[in-house]
Amino acid sequence: MLSFFKKLSPARIIALGFLALILIGSILLMLPICIKDGIEVSYIDALYTSTSAVCVTGLITIDPGDTFTPIGQFILGLLIQIGGLGVTSVGAGVIMAMNKRLDLKSRLLIREGSNLGSAKGIALFIKNVFVLTLIFELIGAALSFIVFSQDYPILDAIGISLFHSVAAFNNSGFDILGNFQSLIPYQSNVLLNLVTCALIFFGGIGFLVIREIIDKRFNLKKCSMHTKVVLSVSAVLLIVGTLLIKLTEDISWLGAFFTSVSVRTAGFSAYSLGGFSNAGLLIVIILMIIGASPGSTGGGIKTSTFFVLVMGIKSAATNKSEKAFKYSIPKDAFKKAATIFTLAISIIALGTYLLLALEPNIRFIDALFEITSAFGTVGLSTGITTSLCDLSKLLSIIIMFIGRLGPLTVATLWYFSKGERVRYPDGDIAIG
């Protein structure tokens, strides 16, 4: 068995790790101690919930607050935490806690799973990930407690605050408030909205960016190109998203701001998206496709991919080299970005087609929204998730799994070739 895993590529080991965690989680969530008295949970719903938690999505077919006991909610929160940090990062953290060194295979796995450029400084990176996660989540829980303690008993408020902070920082839209309400009861609470937005934002920009900002003492001029791209694109999407959502929907500025932050990958909702206009849903779909940033807890094609695509198109249109922030963009970056984008759109299109075939009574916009949310590991829905048939739930599970691993990673799982032995002459082909 050990020799079998040694022969696997890092991408395949990561995929198997996530799959194993999902299956273990689904079994644990089916245990009687995890389910409230009088509630029945089918295995497909337990599998769906476990997948959504591990893939930090937030789509639900059963409400965690109404279905699971405190023990079940703890397991759900643990699945979200491991899924957000990454199976490989958590495994490496356990190895380091046992005072053992990381071998080359472990370092390659962490590099692959965290989108790192090299395997150097892996041990320090893992330590930073755990420390930063602990700091952000404890601060978030403390500030959230100020709000929740006004509506719940002290012990319940502590549990809800900790769960909410973990879910928000890991960009997972789960809540344990019950009745499928998410944060709608707190849509006018400025403190909880801003705290949630801050947790989502920092969890979504990635640990590399957070660490570099701290190392450079918050002097953004000294930061790398990657950090500047992530922060600038995130800021632009946040502002533009807020303005467009406010323009199309009759909600407050706070609601538009919160929605713009959350829809990129977190999945908390302060307003029912089932009441959004088609124009508003289209804006949300675009933001969900773009998603968070590399090395973060979020999904989507990533902000840096979107940036490289825009700059590549601009370069082709103006016949000028690709550059930004006084750096040249690597030549192969546009090819990789275009590949990721094409795969993402293809998966969403195929998933939407299959969902519409399985659920002919669902509107096209609702099906497209559901599949995009699953792929972007966002967790938002227009309200159709609970009514899906078992095959549709299984389809959504597969889409969430692909979205968490990344379309390019999934594509490489089936690649067995060791290299090209034959090279053909260039042919002529008309483009455009």
Model confidence, pTM: 0.88
**Is 3 among the domain residues?**
no
**Is 419 among the domain residues?**
no
**Is 426 among the domain residues?**
no
* Structural domain boundaries enclosing 281: 9-113+122-412
Q: Specify the number of domains making up the chain.
A: 1
* Eight-class DSSP state of 145: H
The residue behind tokens 């789960």 is 174
10-residue averages of pLDDT along the chain (432 residues): 58 80 95 93 95 91 93 94 75 57 58 55 75 92 96 94 94 89 92 95 87 83 86 94 95 94 89 91 94 82 90 84 79 86 94 96 94 92 92 95 80 57 67 64
Query: How far is residue 207 from each of residues 69, 72, 239, 291, 327, measured CA to CA in Å?
Result: 32, 29, 23, 16, 22
Residue 102: what pLDDT?
57
CA angle 95, 96, 100 (to 5 degrees): 75
CB of 267 within 8 A of CB of 233? no
Sign of the torsion formed by the C-alpha atoms of 83, 294, 369 and 182: positive
**Is 64 among the domain residues?**
yes
Give bridge partners of residue 35 from the DSSP assignment: 68
Alpha-carbon Rg for the chain, nearest whole angstrom, is 21
Compute the distance between CA of residue 102 and CA of residue 263 in angstroms, rounded to an integer. Answer: 37
Query: How far is residue 209 from each of residues 297, 324, 405, measured CA to CA in Å?
Result: 13, 17, 20
Residue 323: what pLDDT?
77
Residue 411: what pLDDT?
65
Residue 320: what pLDDT?
79
**Is 425 among the domain residues?**
no
CB of 169 within 8 A of CB of 133? yes
Query: How far is residue 173 from each of residues 56, 362, 380, 389, measured CA to CA in Å?
Result: 8, 23, 8, 22
**Is 386 among the domain residues?**
yes
**Is 38 among the domain residues?**
yes
Compute the distance between CA of residue 236 and CA of residue 231 in angstroms, rounded to an integer. Answer: 9
Compute the distance between CA of residue 43 and CA of residue 393 in angstroms, rounded to an integer. Answer: 11
**Is 423 among the domain residues?**
no
Residue 293: what pLDDT?
86
- Tokens in use for 322? 């690709």
